[in-house]
Amino acid sequence: MAFKFNFTSEDLDLEDTEENQQLESSLNELTIDETNDIDKIPSREYDILSSPLPSVIQADILQVPNVEKALYKRTLADVKFQMAEQDTLIEEHADKDVIPMLNLSGNTDLIKGVYEGGFKTWECSIDMVQYLSELPEEQITNKKILELGCGSSLPSLYLLSRSNTNKVDVQDYNDQVIRYITIPNILLNTVLTVQEPSSSIVEEEEEEIEEESSEEEDDEDDEDDEDEKRIEEDVNTCDAEAEIPTEKIPTMLQLVSERTRAFVGDWSTLPEQLNVDQEKYDMIVTSETIYAEHALPDLISVFQKALKKPDGVCYVAAKTVYFGVGGGILPFCNLLVKTKDKSGDQMKFEKVFESESTVKREILKVSWDL
């Protein structure tokens, strides 16, 4: 299954199962359903040791440019398959919301306070992996890291697989995302043995991608072309799978929990769950989480309460502007530099990456300004 990180609204109108998988790609123009006036989900720690797992996980292989190690990412079709298998068991359970989240149509990416987009993989997370891979060894090994709004958690997967000395905690608004995407992805990239397809299949996939890419070059009027081409040229994907023998599940989850804690719920109540009074984080990473202006104060508050002084560093990957929803780099930076913590300290930012594409993407390095 070819995996694309960007697509046109036309793609989203397609209804069959295969095209539905493309919902995991990111949109240029974000739409949020704000009609719900729903209480924020309170933060809590997610119990990794009790996470339900299927006997086999189907994955895409992501080869991020200039990054030596491929990343494995669970397919959404595989999540749907697990849901179908569990169908009779989950009617009364929160997992009944998983299929509606997976099936969100192109009209809405997120439902404010209900579902914040974690099942899709957003393209700035690829930028983040590329950027992290270029940092000097000592800056990304032996670190205590937190990924905020992780979703499929590509940066965490990279950091966990890059060095066994890293400990990486993850947080997503929705526990369904942690359970069915984040934890399986961490397993795929750390403890599981993933069976890769033979090289001939990989070559076929690459040929298909090249054909699609050259067809699109003809359509110069489509302003999404530049981004789509970048992704299709840069990220070659194909299928893989990993078996999970039932008797090994407790040991595997134990191994995950030795390096990772997981948190679900809203940022406003996250700091008290993190035990940051005992130990703060060396690094916080977050991708495509500054799209909604109303959530920026809570996000910045987590940075300030959870990041080590004086040397901790946050990396924020985001589109420069999220058309139609008010968030983006400028409102984030404006608020960051005028927000003080309870000791009166502030943070500063520096742009460390900017894309060449039509829809601009950036990475900010945020650190203490002491």
Applying CB under 6 A, among 21, 25, 51, 289 the residue interacting with ligand SAM is 289
Within residues 24-63, the interface with ligand SAM by CB under 6 A covers none
Applying CB under 6 A, among 287, 304, 355, 357 the residue interacting with ligand SAM is 287
Which x/- pattern, by CB under 6 A, does the window 161-190 give for ligand SAM? -----------xx---x-------------
**The residue count for the chain:** 370
The answer to the question of residue 267 lying near ligand SAM (CB under 6 A) is: yes
How many amino acids of this chain bind ligand SAM (CB under 6 A)?
A: 21
The answer to the question of residue 149 lying near ligand SAM (CB under 6 A) is: yes
Helices and strands (H and E) in the chain: how many: 13, 13
The answer to the question of residue 312 lying near ligand SAM (CB under 6 A) is: no
d(CA 181, CA 185): 6
The answer to the question of residue 75 lying near ligand SAM (CB under 6 A) is: no
Max CA separation in the chain (angstroms): 59
The answer to the question of residue 82 lying near ligand SAM (CB under 6 A) is: no
Piece in contact with ligand SAM (CB under 6 A), picked from 6-14, 97-105, 150-158, 244-252: 150-158
Query: In angstroms, what is the minimal distance from the CB of 3 to ligand SAM?
Result: 13
The answer to the question of residue 122 lying near ligand SAM (CB under 6 A) is: yes
CB under 8 Å to 90, separation ≥6 — which residues? 83, 96
Query: In angstroms, what is the minimal distance from the CB of 235 to ligand SAM?
Result: 13
**Which residue, 225 or 288, is less far from ligand SAM as judged by CB?**
288
Range list of β-strands (E), 201-288: 239-243, 262-264, 283-287
* Whole-number Cα distances in Å, 156 to 167, 187, 256, 348: 9, 12, 12, 24
d(CA 31, CA 38): 18
Which x/- pattern, by CB under 6 A, does the window 208-247 give for ligand SAM? ----------------------------------------
* Whole-number Cα distances in Å, 69 to 62, 231, 304, 310: 9, 17, 32, 32
Query: In angstroms, what is the minimal distance from the CB of 266 to ligand SAM?
Result: 4
CB under 8 Å to 250, separation ≥6 — which residues? 49
d(CA 339, CA 143): 26
Piece in contact with ligand SAM (CB under 6 A), picked from 143-151, 219-227, 241-249, 276-284: 143-151
The answer to the question of residue 118 lying near ligand SAM (CB under 6 A) is: yes
d(CA 60, CA 5): 12
Per-residue tokens: 111: 């439902």
The answer to the question of residue 315 lying near ligand SAM (CB under 6 A) is: no
The answer to the question of residue 302 lying near ligand SAM (CB under 6 A) is: no
d(CA 286, CA 192): 25
d(CA 102, CA 95): 11
Query: In angstroms, what is the minimal distance from the CB of 150 to ligand SAM?
Result: 6
Binding site for ligand SAM (CB under 6 A): 116-118, 121-122, 124-125, 149-152, 172-173, 177, 266-267, 287-289, 295, 298
